[in-house]
Amino acid sequence: MAAEALLSTEIVNRAVDGGSPTFSVRVRRRMPDFLSSVNLKYVKLGYHYLINHGAYILTAPIAIALVFGVGIGNITWGDLKSSYHETSNIVFISVLMVLLLYVYVDLSPRSTYLVDFACFRPPKELKTTKAEFINLARKSGNFNEEAIEFMGRVLKSSGIGDESYMPRTAFLPANKITLREGREEAATVMFGAVDDLIASTGVRTRDIKILVVNCGILNTTPSLSAMLINHYKLRQDIHSFNLGGMGCAAGVISVDLAKDLLDAHPGSYALVVSTEVVTASWYPGNDPDMLIPNCFFRMGAAAVLLSNRRLDRWRSKYELKQVVRTHKGTDDRSFKSVYLREDSRGRQGLSVSRDLVEIAGHALKANIATLGPLVLPVMEQVMFFKMLLFGGKKEKACKKSGAAYMPDYKLAFEHVCILASSKAVLEELQRQLELTEEYMEASKRTLERFGNTSSSSVWYELAYVEAKGKRVKRGDRVWQLAFGSGFKCNSMVWRALRTVKTPRRSPWLED
């Protein structure tokens, strides 16, 4: 097998600590077969979530009906008829009914709505072809010729095109990148995304009560969330959070945190900003395990406006249906698979384990096993359980005879947005999940056009689907899947509240 082929397969599951791509070129192991050794505890966990979620919906109306029945149980039709002209009785019954309805609505769980989102497109002068990338890296003097050739081979098989964006400060000679360059890049991408979001939604900054920002590597003082608060003069009592070190999976984590905060503060807006700063994660050395992120990671940021105000349902695009998070951090191999460290000369970078592809595959398998009961049609779940009943030798015999059954996730979702990590990993996931080219189009095109933008990648993919023009129809379900250091795999499911027209602002619409 050629060295290039090995490189491309490793560059696969790239959700990493600093948000940078993560598959080491030295990794030899393939992603595990999703049909083998499915752990029943993850399937059981999925049903546990399903039961808990539906408990209130099923029991609350019954409880209210009982209360209402007790309250007016002694009132017969004859009583009502005889007292028809007695205004006090009519008012009493009406007020009681309105009160019970209000209590039910007020106590029922509020939905989380995605009002709108925006992805930043850097200026044209920052477009970087693969040839220009190698030329700038060579001119910087930070890499020896062996490292230059290595990055060239990785880029060739990466799936990234010639229009992704790189900050020129990353190529400063003699590793002169400072905190100032990192802050400037963060301000450029974050402010650009938030400006577009405010323009498209018309939300007033003083109405934003919750702010969640995630960036893997760059963690400044004051924080990036404080930078946004200062720039947009957000309210003084805002609930702000700054998440770091969670890699490409942090975008889903941020939405999950914002949802919990919205549940605690009904009737509020939450702003989620996901980004990664290339100048902060750039590695100016020659260690192959630490060069991979340089080749895949690119500039980008996404800003998302969430709300649980009931009146916002009419203008929102999507409703959040499920969030499933899987963390494999208790396992030492998973925990150390993506590690920020220094090389022998003290230069900092992300080190990628040779077992990363295998580790990511196991995390993904556990995640989709948990997600299945929440989203799959009943018959698909029955067939899946039938497959799970085959254990040990029976399972092997089943697979050899072609009877092994992979649930058809195409029946659960109309659109799939998988982290744009690498060409090889996307193709492997497509094969394992039996997805068509149409389902993979958004992920592959995002990788080609923008590269791996870390935690914001799944939003560029959703923006691509919307930019195709009315491809997202009312009732469509969208699956966003991301993985990152730790090691973790996270899924987020949305349901379209209306047919989404081609947006006026989009990173996919040229000026």
Rounded distance, CA 492 to CA 485, Å? Answer: 18
Alpha-helical (H) ranges within 332-454 are 332-335, 356-375, 378-388, 393-400, 423-433, 437-450
Question: C-alpha angle 269/271/276, rounded to 5°?
Answer: 170
Q: Tell me the CA distances in angstroms from 193 to 63, 122, 210, 280, one per residue in order.
A: 46, 10, 17, 19
The amino acid at 425:
V
Question: First vs last Cα of the chain: how many Å apart?
Answer: 44
Rounded distance, CA 511 to CA 504, Å? Answer: 11
Cα dihedral sign, 193-198-199-201: positive
- Catalytic hit among 13, 452, 489, 490: 452
State the angle between helix axes of 40-72 and 356-375 in degrees (0 to 180), rounded to the nearest 10.
Answer: 30
Contact 306, 112 (CB under 8 A): yes
Confirm whether 398 is a catalytic residue.
no
Give the single-character DSSP code of 372: H
Confirm whether 215 is a catalytic residue.
no
Rounded distance, CA 177 to CA 182, Å? Answer: 8
Residue keyed to tokens 């007695």? 86
- Catalytic hit among 294, 308, 415, 489: 415
Q: What number of H helices and E strands is found in the chain? A: 18, 13
Q: Which residues pair with 325 in a beta bridge?
A: 490
Confirm whether 53 is a catalytic residue.
no
Task: Centre a 10 Å sphere on the Cβ of residue 244 and count the other Cβ atoms it contains.
Answer: 19
The amino acid at 152:
G
By C-alpha distance, which of 355, 308, 306, 321 is closest to 26?
355
Structure tokens at 1: 């097998």
- Catalytic hit among 119, 215, 248, 398: 248
Residue keyed to tokens 């077992």? 355
Which of 294-315 are b and which e, b meaning 16 or more Cβ less than 10 Å from the residue's Cβ?
Answer: bbbbbbbbbbbbbbbbeebeee
Contact 356, 31 (CB under 8 A): no
Confirm whether 295 is a catalytic residue.
no
- Which residues are annotated as catalytic? 248, 327, 415, 452
